[in-house]
Structure 1
Amino acid sequence: MTRSVTAPHVGIWMYENGGGREIEQRLVHALAERGIQTSTGLNLRDARAKDGQISCNGVVMEQLDAFLSYNAGQQTQFQVYLYQALSQAIPTLNNYDAFALAEDKFRTSHLLNSQGICTADYRLCHKNDMDGLKQALRDFGGKLIYKPTDGWGGVGIVKIDSEQALDMLLPFLSRTDLRYFYVERFIDYDNTDYRIDVVDGKFVGCYGRKAPKDDWKTNITSGGSVFVREPDDEVVELALRAASTLGLEIAGVDLIYDREREEYVVLEVNTIPAFATPEQEALGINFNQAKIDAMVELIERTATQHNALHTHKVA
C-alpha cells in the first residue's frame, strides 16, 4: 500500500472593499510559497447543498482542508447556516462555535464576566419585563445602551438617558419580533477606544478609534475616525484573555477605559476584524503584514493537519 499525497487546499471568502482584494492576493501568494493551494471567491451565498455535499462555484467544500470566511458585511442567515454545516466536516476559521458565541453580545459578556474579564454591566430581560428594564435604567444611574444581541457596526444601538426616553422607545420595540431586551450600563469614557487584533493567541496590532463630535459611538460606520495608538501590557493581556476565553482563532477586541471605575472594559469582540485600509496605513497604522504572517501560519498549520489526517491509502 502507498499513500496518495496531495497539497493542502484552502478555500477563502474575503471582503473586497477597503483593500481587501489586495490582502487576499497577499494571503494567496504567501500560502502558495508554502505549497498550499487556494480557491477564492467562495461566497456561500452561491452555494448549494445536496447529497451530503456543499458545492460553491465549482468547489466541493467538504474536500477543502480549511475554509477562511472573512466577510462581515455580507453574511446572511443562509450563509451562516451553511457555515455551521460545513464546520462539521472541515476546519473553519473562525471555528463556528466560537464565531456564533462571539456574534452574540449577551453570551459574550456573560461568559467573559464568568471568567473574571470586565465588561459593561448588563441585563437581559424578557420582552414583557418592562419593570425589569426600568429597574436596570435606575440601577445603571439613569443611562443605558440598548443593543441588538447580533449585528455589527453599531447598527441598532440606542442610548437611553431617561425613563421618558425609555417609555417612548418601548412601543416601537414591542412591535418587533424580539424575544428579549439586552441592555448595558452607559460607561463614562473619553469617546475613544482600542481595537486590538489577535491571531492564533498572539497580539498582532492595535489602533484607536474616536467618536465624531457630539456623538459617543466610535464605530467607523457610525462616523468614527481612526488614529495611531500604542496599547500598554494590561490592554493587550485583557484582549488576549478575551479572545482565548471565547475560543476564537482570529479576533478584534474593542476596549475602553471606564473613568468612573478606573478600569479597562471589554466592550465587544469582533470575529472578522478588518485589516487597515490603504488610507489608514498612510496614517501609520501598519500592522497588516504582521497579521497576514500570523494568519498564514494559522491557516498552514490547520490545513496541513487536516490534510495529513485525511490523506487516504490506495493500492
Structure 2
Amino acid sequence: MTAPHVGIWMYENGGGSAIEHKLVHALAERGIQTSTGLNLRDARAQGGEIVCNGVAMEQLDAFLSYNAGQQTQYQLYLYQVLSQTIPTLNNFNAFSLAEDKFRTAHLLSSHGIATADYRLCHKNDIDGLKAAIRDFGGKLVYKPTDGWGGVGIVKIDSEQALDMLLPFLSRTDLRYFYVERFINYDNTDYRIDIVDGKCVGCYGRKAPKDDWKTNITSGGTVFIREPGQEVIDLAIKATQLLGLEIAGVDLIYDRDKEEYVVLEVNTIPAFATPEQEALGINFNQSKLDAMVDLIDSTVQRKLALHSAKVA
C-alpha cells in the first residue's frame, strides 16, 4: 500500500522553516510522506490536472496551505479548485469567508458573538458614513474588508476628519466602505490559537506607545497572557462558526460595554518566533502536535472514503 502523501506550503520567515522541518519529521513518523514548497504561484493547470513543482496536486491526500494570507487571484483560484477535489487546510470556503472582515463580523454577530459595531456602506452613501460616525460616538475605524497585518486601517476621530478623507476615498476603485466603531480598550489583545476545535496556545499583544494597533507589523509587542475560559470559549465558537480547521482569534475587552469582543479571525496564525519563545511564549509544540493530529485524521478520512467508494 502506498504511503499517504501530503503537500505543504509553509511560510519561511520567523522560524517557519524550522517548524516545517518538525512537521515533516512528525508526519514521517506516522507513515505520511510530504512534498514541501508547493506555492501555487508556480503551478500550472492543463489536461485535467494541476501540477506544482512536479507534484500532481489532485493526487495528494491533503494540502496544507500555511503561508501569507495576501495571495494573488491566481493562487486563490487554484486553491479553490483544489479544495473541491482534495482536503485542504484550511478548506477554501472557510478560508475565503474568514478573510473577509465584513462577512466574518456579520456571521459572528448574527450568532450572538460580540464583534465591533460595524456598517457597510455603498461607495456613494456619504450620508451613511456620516451617520455611522455619529452613531458610533464620534470615532470609527475604516478597514479594507480583505486586509491583513493592520495594512490600510485608518482611525477617524471626528466628522471633520471624515470630510477631509472623503476626497481621497472617492478616487479609489472601492465599491463599498466597511467601518467599525472604535472600541475603548486598554490597547492590548488576546491571540488565541485554535486547531481542530481546541485551544492550543495564547499570548497577548500590546500596541506601541501613542498608538492603538496591536499588530506586530504595526509595532505591537507580545507578552505572556493566560486566557480565561470565557475567552477560550468565544475563540472556539467563532472558529467553528466560520468552519475553520485552524485559526488565530483576536479578542479585546470593550470597556464601555464591559464584554469581550472578537476583533478578527486569522486563517494563518503564525507560530511563536524564536525571539518570542525566548520570552516564554511556548505553545509551538502543542500547536504542532495538534496540527499533526489534524493532518493525520484528515488523511485517514479521505482514505477511508476512497476505500468505501472502491468497495
TM-score band w.r.t. shorter chain: over 0.9
- Tell me which of 145, 159, 171 is aligned to 1:163: 159
Amino acid in structure 1 at the alignment position of 2:257? R
Instruction: Tell me by how many angstroms 1:308 deviates.
Output: 3.1
Task: Work out the CA distance in 1 between the residues paired with 2:26 and 2:73.
Answer: 32
- Tell me which of 110, 119, 125 is aligned to 1:123: 119
Moved over 4 A (4+): 311-314
Query: In structure 2, the residue corresponding to 1:107 is in which secondary structure?
Result: helix
Instruction: Tell me by how many angstroms 1:6 deviates.
Output: 1.6
Amino acid in structure 1 at the alignment position of 2:215? N
Query: In structure 2, the residue corresponding to 1:154 is in which secondary structure?
Result: coil
Q: How does 1:159-308 map to 2 (within 5 A)?
A: 159-308=155-304
Count of aligned residue pairs for this structure pair: 310
Amino acid in structure 1 at the alignment position of 2:213? K
Amino acid in structure 1 at the alignment position of 2:271? F
Amino acid in structure 2 at the alignment position of 1:64? L
Query: In structure 2, the residue corresponding to 1:204 is in which secondary structure?
Result: strand
Task: Work out the CA distance in 2 between the residues paired with 1:45 and 1:212.
Answer: 35
Instruction: Tell me by how many angstroms 1:310 deviates.
Output: 2.8
Amino acid in structure 2 at the alignment position of 1:38? T
Instruction: Tell me by how many angstroms 1:238 deviates.
Output: 0.5
TM (norm. structure 2) is: 0.98
Query: In structure 1, the residue corresponding to 2:14 is in which secondary structure?
Result: helix
- Tell me which of 16, 22, 32 is aligned to 1:20: 16
Task: Work out the CA distance in 1 between the residues paired with 2:70 and 2:117.
Answer: 30
Instruction: Tell me by how many angstroms 1:74 deviates.
Output: 5.5
Amino acid in structure 2 at the alignment position of 1:104? D
Query: In structure 2, the residue corresponding to 1:54 is in which secondary structure?
Result: strand
Instruction: Tell me by how many angstroms 1:103 deviates.
Output: 0.2
- Tell me which of 2, 5, 13 is aligned to 1:6: 2
Task: Work out the CA distance in 1 between the residues paired with 2:11 and 2:75.
Answer: 14
Task: Work out the CA distance in 2 between the residues paired with 1:305 and 1:28.
Answer: 20
Task: Work out the CA distance in 2 between the residues paired with 1:239 and 1:131.
Answer: 35
- Tell me which of 145, 148, 151 is aligned to 1:152: 148
- Check if 1:54 corresponds to 2:47: no
CA offsets per residue over residues 221-273 of structure 1, 9 Å max, x none?
00000000000111001101100110000000000000111100000000000
* Aligned residues: CA RMSD: 1.2
- Check if 1:39 corresponds to 2:35: yes
Instruction: Tell me by how many angstroms 1:309 deviates.
Output: 2.7
Task: Work out the CA distance in 1 between the residues paired with 2:228 and 2:26.
Answer: 31
Equivalent in the alignment of 2:86: 90
